[in-house]
Amino acid sequence: MELRPYQKDALAALWKYWQREPNGNPLLVCPTGSGKSLILAEIIRRALAKRPHFRCLVLTHRKELIESNARELQRWAPEIRIGIYSAGLGIKRLAPITYAGIQSLYKKVGSLEAVSLIIIDEAHLLSSRPNSMYQKLISAMQGKNRRLKVCGLTATPYRMDSGSLCGEGELFTGVAYDIAVRRLIDEGYLAPLTSKATAAPVDFSEVRIQNGDYVIGELQGKFDKNELIEEHCREIVRLGKERKSWLIFCAGVKHSEHVAEELERQGVRATSVHSGLFDMERDRRIAAFVKGEVQAICNCQILTTGFNHPPIDLIALLRPTQSTGLYVQMLGRGMRTSPGKANCLVLDFGENIVRHGPIDTIQVKHKNGKAEAKGAPVKICPGCFSHVLIALRTCPDCGYGFPERSCKLEVKPSEAPILSKVEEWEIVEKRVKVHEKNGRQSLRVLFQGKAPWRQVSEFLCFEHGGWAAHKAGERWRQLGGEAPAPRSVAEGYERAEELGSVARVGVVKDGSFWRIVKMEFREEGAAGSSAEEERELMEMGL
């Protein structure tokens, strides 16, 4: 086993974060399937190598995650003695390094010894309530060690039902590292997604929204209808006939059961898992799916996080969600690579792609003081039926020109990528200037394409502090600047000649702006950059 380059970068960024902010509680943001459990294992191994008496708690919410994370550390560093504390696994053994379920351990917090570090896996499930199990345990452990550090790992740095995990009043103080989904797909570490729009629409406009998402009982009433289930399943069977492993997200417990029954009636081996089953029966059904004894597994709010089965090559969203976090987590189940798997097909029956946008353009944006996760919206091209970013006037697949004011287009089955389309621009000029907004300065690096309207900029916020300053330094080096990166905008402007000569950029549309995702330097390369930074197509870290 060997760490991948981005895993090494994540670890380096974590140590640098703690050097800058010794009392900070950082997040590592890595997509589903990127190997968070190995990053977690290496954090522990390195800490123990420096401090033999190091003690750590690794907390999560599912027994499967506890077991897989512990197994990864045993494979990576078999000499480390670990404990597992989980009622679900039937093991309650504490050790200097303990993997635990939060539901089991928080009841025992009074008798726990002090630890140096608490790692929270699937940190997006951390509640914002001050009296949550996580908050109570952490507060108690801080009382035992005032220098306690907390680190979180997640694929989505925002909660399922609310905003960002970082900020004022939050446990986490900033993002130490964030790796782009597109980069991992381009480098072969994740499987790409494709999508097909569906022809069986459901009217759920009257379903109420509570706690950031649709009321599941009302949602089930809209989707759990015999004729609709039959039509949905017929479409899944038709479009997924070449696919081997199907994961289906349903709108309720009964809906999940009825979809599985209908798939069986249409000749597909299927099963259903949900909260109405005993743990042993649920585990048996999941095991049958993993072994390939059944082709499709339907579920209601069970397999959204922490479920790891790489062969999944079809995901059907038989429900809508207002939660961008849940949307990303559901799609993440199909992004792991597996032998013989070229991609994962997404069948969206709940208008989720239109609502949230391509999975690789989603960012946390702030509105009225609250953080919201949003992606670029999409529309359906009537020429080839591809999902197209709504801001584009021309379809990049077939060249169809959208009218000035297009009405809502009819949704028909078609194959189209759920990832945003990358446009390649030849760059003829680069300009560097000081940019000021709301009294704060940044260094603007503007790239001009051949056409006058083809402009894209990078804003380097050296003086904004925290994650923004860290990313500015990273961008500076990626653009060819020498290390160490400037500490101020004025210094960056004076050193602008260090930045390399760019020949081409790859950009995606993000709302009304373009965002750089790839860059190619001219032959002279980037002055002062390392060999890694001079690779032909350089990822910019979305």
What structural domains and CATH numbers belong to the chain?
Answer: 5-179 (3.40.50.300), 193-417 (3.40.50.300), 423-539 (no CATH)
Asked if residue 122 has pLDDT above 70, the reply is yes
Asked if residue 477 has pLDDT above 90, the reply is no
Under 8 Å between Cβ of 418 and 195: yes
Strand partners, 459: 444
DSSP letter (8 states) at residue 89:
T
533: pLDDT confidence band, cut at 50, 70 and 90? Answer: very low
- How far is residue 1 CA from its own chain's centroid? 24
User: So what's the pLDDT on residue 380?
Assistant: 55
User: So what's the pLDDT on residue 474?
Assistant: 77
Under 8 Å between Cβ of 35 and 7: yes
Under 8 Å between Cβ of 193 and 313: no
What phi, psi does 114 have (nearest 5°)?
A: -65, 145
Strongest mean pLDDT among 59-68, 112-121, 429-438, 453-462: 112-121
Distance CA 202, CA 307 (A): 28
Asked if residue 369 has pLDDT above 70, the reply is no
Q: Say what percent of the chain tops pLDDT 90.
A: 50
Under 8 Å between Cβ of 312 and 333: yes
User: So what's the pLDDT on residue 390?
Assistant: 53
Q: Say what percent of the chain tops pLDDT 70.
A: 85
Those residues with Cβ within 8 angstroms of residue 111's Cβ, 6 or more apart along the chain or in another chain: none
Q: Picking from 34-43, 133-142, 197-206, 278-287, which range would have the lowest pLDDT averaged per residue? A: 197-206
524: pLDDT confidence band, cut at 50, 70 and 90? Answer: low
Asked if residue 79 has pLDDT above 50, the reply is yes
525: pLDDT confidence band, cut at 50, 70 and 90? Answer: very low
Q: Which residue has the higher pLDDT, 295 or 469?
A: 295
Asked if residue 25 has pLDDT above 60, the reply is yes
Asked if residue 247 has pLDDT above 70, the reply is yes
User: So what's the pLDDT on residue 265?
Assistant: 97
Report the chain's mean pLDDT, rounded to a whole number: 84
61: pLDDT confidence band, cut at 50, 70 and 90? Answer: confident
416: pLDDT confidence band, cut at 50, 70 and 90? Answer: very low
User: So what's the pLDDT on residue 285?
Assistant: 96
CA nearest to 253, candidates 209, 202, 203, 219: 219
Asked if residue 217 has pLDDT above 70, the reply is yes
pTM: 0.73
162: pLDDT confidence band, cut at 50, 70 and 90? Answer: low
User: So what's the pLDDT on residue 466?
Assistant: 65
What is the rounded average pLDDT of the residues 433-455? Answer: 88
Asked if residue 412 has pLDDT above 90, the reply is no
Task: Give the β-pairing of 246-249 and 314-317.
Answer: parallel
406: pLDDT confidence band, cut at 50, 70 and 90? Answer: very low
Asked if residue 246 has pLDDT above 90, the reply is yes
Report angle CA 496, 511, 197 to the nearest 5 degrees: 135
Those residues with Cβ within 8 angstroms of residue 247's Cβ, 6 or more apart along the chain or in another chain: 296, 297, 299, 303, 309, 312, 314, 315, 316, 333, 334
What is the rounded average pLDDT of the residues 106-121? Answer: 92
382: pLDDT confidence band, cut at 50, 70 and 90? Answer: low
User: So what's the pLDDT on residue 243?
Assistant: 96
User: So what's the pLDDT on residue 538?
Assistant: 32
- How far is residue 516 CA from its own chain's centroid? 19
Strand partners, 426: 504
User: So what's the pLDDT on residue 299?
Assistant: 96
Under 8 Å between Cβ of 135 and 171: yes
Asked if residue 409 has pLDDT above 80, the reply is no
Under 8 Å between Cβ of 461 and 468: yes
